[in-house]
């Protein structure tokens, strides 16, 4: 699991290579080995590349005024100019909805057996409408389906009723598999919208607009919101929880992306605050577990069974001070603190470690900590850190009392890093709605990965169930295969 994040980075570079036509046999093999879904990307990219070489690719559209630009990979293009004003056509202008696809592969009829509201018998009418949905199948073939939807009349409800088409979100022209796959590429791995369109769009008869994708993801986020809440509940119920936060921007304003991660749940929230109010919003009540975090003061206000501060942070701080402070007083303090931390970690790493067995040694380490924290060290840096040790004295060696607790916040930092990469790729969110979708979908894709589940299949089938019967299945738990 340690290398999951570097995996994602590797995936992004392989995707870029594939789009550029530089994907080698071993690269394709690597994609397949990293994730069974990724071989699909290699095929998509390869097919795209072949079409490009045959000169068939023309990503025609308003943002591609000349075809050659469509043949360039996005990273060699200059960044798109910032769009000013409102998104979409001006009032009074005709919409630029893409034309209906020419070719129909499959036709499907939808007719209700009985009234969905009262269960009563329906009077058959001749009213009907058609709707075309394009989707990508398991074998990566695209399929255009024309759905004929019959509208019948319910005499007791005195209204016309029609069945739901569970294969696609309301008003969407792309099907559930495509929504799940593109959402995973963007929110799960951090592939940019332009790259998603290059990878997937070229295989569709109908093209794939950026606006269409984003609005489909917003609807996906809305429908899957109950899963976001289930992830929060799982995180709050965990015995050990890592927390971290990083800067974010929503509509040009500074926000914070918060991450709460246990071993099988990863919950993100985006908020304008970096303060304890966000933690109150998340925890709702006292946390019956150990919270692992850095020395950011807000975390200390959480009512938890115990806290563990990140000792890697503390050691990094010592290194930072080393660069500017060579005084003997500082050196003596830093040496003592390093030795204390090292002794604590060594004790924990003993093969037969058990808090009860080593109670005496643990108490000795606690005493050394208090001596350092209360001592007079005759150096400003040393005094500042001693003060910190005193403030957090109960949160330094918690990992010696609870063998499941780590002594660093690596897990929290690992879980927040993909978001940092996505922020660099996508410049955070343009609206509160975008931020909400981001938090929901990132949480779901990352939690499914933590649980060893196939995010594409799970999300696509959940979407279908939700559209067919009106409620979501429960978010899957840890897969047995993944242990
Ligand atoms: Zn009825």
Distance in Å, CA 166 to ligand 1 centroid: 21
Distance in Å, CA 110 to ligand 1 centroid: 17
- Please indicate, yes or no, if residue 352 is contained in any of the structural domains: yes
**More confident site: 42 or 73:** 42
pTM of the full structure? 0.82
Which helix (DSSP H) or strand (DSSP E) does residue 289 occupy?
strand 287-293
Tokens (6 digits) for 71 = 């043949």
Distance in Å, CA 468 to ligand 1 centroid: 18
**Cα 26 off chain centre by:** 28
- Note the pLDDT of residue 86: 53
Average pLDDT over residues 180-206: 85
Backbone φ and ψ of 287, nearest 5°:
-95, 120
How far is 437 from 450, CA to CA, in rounded Å? 20
- Note the pLDDT of residue 462: 96
- Please indicate, yes or no, if residue 20 is contained in any of the structural domains: yes
- Note the pLDDT of residue 77: 40
Backbone φ and ψ of 258, nearest 5°:
-105, 145
When pLDDT is cut at 50, 70 and 90, the band that residue 84 belongs to is: low
Strand 152-154 and strand 240-250: the pairing is unpaired
How far is 106 from 21, CA to CA, in rounded Å? 33
Distance in Å, CA 160 to ligand 1 centroid: 9
Counting the structural domains of the chain, the total is: 2
Task: Please write the tens of the pLDDT for every residue from 219-272.
Answer: 999 999 999 999 999 999 999 999 999 999 898 899 999 999 999 999 999 999
User: Which residues neighbour 455 within 8 Å (Cβ) at sequence distance 6 or greater?
Assistant: 37, 180, 184, 188, 444, 445, 448, 449
Distance in Å, CA 120 to ligand 1 centroid: 5
- Note the pLDDT of residue 428: 74
What sign does the dihedral 162-168-170-172 (CA atoms) show? Answer: negative
How far is 437 from 357, CA to CA, in rounded Å? 49
Q: Round the average pLDDT of the chain to a whole number and report it.
A: 85
Distance in Å, CA 112 to ligand 1 centroid: 11
Distance in Å, CA 173 to ligand 1 centroid: 29
How far is 352 from 221, CA to CA, in rounded Å? 47
116-125, 199-208, 332-341, range with the lowest pLDDT: 199-208
Residue 360 has pLDDT above 60, yes or no: yes
What sign does the dihedral 442-445-450-451 (CA atoms) show? Answer: positive
Distance in Å, CA 154 to ligand 1 centroid: 5
12-16, 133-137, 144-148, 232-236, range with the lowest pLDDT: 12-16
For residues 333 and 315, the answer to whether their CB atoms sit within 8 Å is no
- Please indicate, yes or no, if residue 384 is contained in any of the structural domains: yes
Distance in Å, CA 153 to ligand 1 centroid: 8
Distance in Å, CA 124 to ligand 1 centroid: 13
User: Which residues neighbour 451 within 8 Å (Cβ) at sequence distance 6 or greater?
Assistant: 264, 476, 477, 478, 479, 482
When pLDDT is cut at 50, 70 and 90, the band that residue 74 belongs to is: very low
Listed residues 30, 56, 73: the one ending a domain: 73
Residue 62 has pLDDT above 60, yes or no: no
Range of the domain at 65: 1-73
172-176, 207-211, 449-453, range with the lowest pLDDT: 207-211
Distance in Å, CA 119 to ligand 1 centroid: 6
Which helix (DSSP H) or strand (DSSP E) does residue 12 occupy?
helix 4-20
Distance in Å, CA 116 to ligand 1 centroid: 6
Residue 451 has pLDDT above 80, yes or no: yes
Listed residues 394, 426, 461: the one ending a domain: 394
Strand partners, 61: 64
Tokens (6 digits) for 27 = 């690269």
Distance in Å, CA 155 to ligand 1 centroid: 7
Distance in Å, CA 158 to ligand 1 centroid: 7
Distance in Å, CA 466 to ligand 1 centroid: 21
- Please indicate, yes or no, if residue 14 is contained in any of the structural domains: yes
Q: Would residue 209 be called left, alpha or beta, if left means φ above 0 and alpha means ψ between -120 and 50 degrees?
A: beta
Listed residues 338, 360, 394: the one ending a domain: 394
- Please indicate, yes or no, if residue 5 is contained in any of the structural domains: yes
- Please indicate, yes or no, if residue 147 is contained in any of the structural domains: no
When pLDDT is cut at 50, 70 and 90, the band that residue 149 belongs to is: very high
Nearest to 232 by CA among 419, 475, 482: 475
Task: Please write the tens of the pLDDT for every residue from 400-415.
Answer: 999 999 999 999 999 9
Distance in Å, CA 121 to ligand 1 centroid: 8
Distance in Å, CA 469 to ligand 1 centroid: 17
Distance in Å, CA 226 to ligand 1 centroid: 29
How far is 91 from 475, CA to CA, in rounded Å? 41
Distance in Å, CA 152 to ligand 1 centroid: 10
15-29, 225-239, 387-401, 426-440, range with the lowest pLDDT: 15-29
When pLDDT is cut at 50, 70 and 90, the band that residue 39 belongs to is: low
- Please indicate, yes or no, if residue 29 is contained in any of the structural domains: yes
Distance in Å, CA 147 to ligand 1 centroid: 23
When pLDDT is cut at 50, 70 and 90, the band that residue 350 belongs to is: very high
- Please indicate, yes or no, if residue 236 is contained in any of the structural domains: no
């Amino acid at each position: 699991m340690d290398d999951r994040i570097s995996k994602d980075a590797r995936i992004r570079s392989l995707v870029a290579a594939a789009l550029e036509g530089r994907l080698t046999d071993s690269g394709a093999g690597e994609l397949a080995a990293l994730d069974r879904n990724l071989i699909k990307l290699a095929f998509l990219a390869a097919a795209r590349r072949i079409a490009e070489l045959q000169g068939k690719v023309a990503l025609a559209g308003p943002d591609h005024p000349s075809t050659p630009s469509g043949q360039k990979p996005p990273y060699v293009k200059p960044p798109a100019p910032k769009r000013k004003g409102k998104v979409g056509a001006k009032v009074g202008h005709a919409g630029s909805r893409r034309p209906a696809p020419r070719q129909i592969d499959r036709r499907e009829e939808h007719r209700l057996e009985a009234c969905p509201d009262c269960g009563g018998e329906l009077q058959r009418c001749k009213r009907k409408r058609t709707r075309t949905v394009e989707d990508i199948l398991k074998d990566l073939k695209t399929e255009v389906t024309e759905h004929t939807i019959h509208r019948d009349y319910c005499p007791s409800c005195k209204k016309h009723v029609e069945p739901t088409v569970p294969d696609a979100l309301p008003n969407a022209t792309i099907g559930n598999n495509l929504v799940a796959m593109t959402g995973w590429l963007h929110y799960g791995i951090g592939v940019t919208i332009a790259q998603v369109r290059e990878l997937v769009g070229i295989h569709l008869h109908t093209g794939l607009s950026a606006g269409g994708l984003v609005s489909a993801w917003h609807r996906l986020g809305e429908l899957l919101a109950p899963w976001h809440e289930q992830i929060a509940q799982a995180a709050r119920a965990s015995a050990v929880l890592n927390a971290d936060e990083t800067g974010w921007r929503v509509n040009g304003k500074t926000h914070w992306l918060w991450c709460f991660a246990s071993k099988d749940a990863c919950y993100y929230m985006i908020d304008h605050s970096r303060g304890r109010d966000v933690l109150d919003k998340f925890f709702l009540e006292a946390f019956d577990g150990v919270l692992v975090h850095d020395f950011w003061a807000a975390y200390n206000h959480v009512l938890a069974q115990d806290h563990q501060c990140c000792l890697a942070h503390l050691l990094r701080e010592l290194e930072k001070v080393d660069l500017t402070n060579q005084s003997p007083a500082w050196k003596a303090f830093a040496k003592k603190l390093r030795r204390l931390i090292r002794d604590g970690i060594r004790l924990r790493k003993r093969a037969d470690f058990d808090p009860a067995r080593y109670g005496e040694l643990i108490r000795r380490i606690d005493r050394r900590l208090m001596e350092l924290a209360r001592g007079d060290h005759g150096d400003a840096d040393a005094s500042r850190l001693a003060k910190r040790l005193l403030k957090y004295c109960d949160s330094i060696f918690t990992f010696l009392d609870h063998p499941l607790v780590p002594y660093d916040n690596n897990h929290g930092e690992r879980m927040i890093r993909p978001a940092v990469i996505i922020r660099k790729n996508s410049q955070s969110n343009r609206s509160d709605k975008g931020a909400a979708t981001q938090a929901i979908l990132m949480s779901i894709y990352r939690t499914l990965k933590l649980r060893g589940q196939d995010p594409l299949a799970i999300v696509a089938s959940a979407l279908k169930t939700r559209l067919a019967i009106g409620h979501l299945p429960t978010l899957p738990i840890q897969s047995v295969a993944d242990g």
